[in-house]
Amino acid sequence: MTRNLQEAVKVCLGSGLI
């Protein structure tokens, strides 16, 4: 479940950066 969370965080960060 750690990988899933990390991936979700990366997507959130990418969306926030844009």
Q: Give CA angle at 2 (17, 16), nearest 5°.
A: 10
Q: Is the pLDDT of residue 16 over 70?
A: yes
CA 17 to mean position of chain CA atoms = 11
Q: Is the pLDDT of residue 12 over 70?
A: yes
Residues 2 and 12: their CA atoms lie apart, in Å, by: 15
Q: Is the pLDDT of residue 11 over 80?
A: yes
The predicted pLDDT at position 2 comes to 84
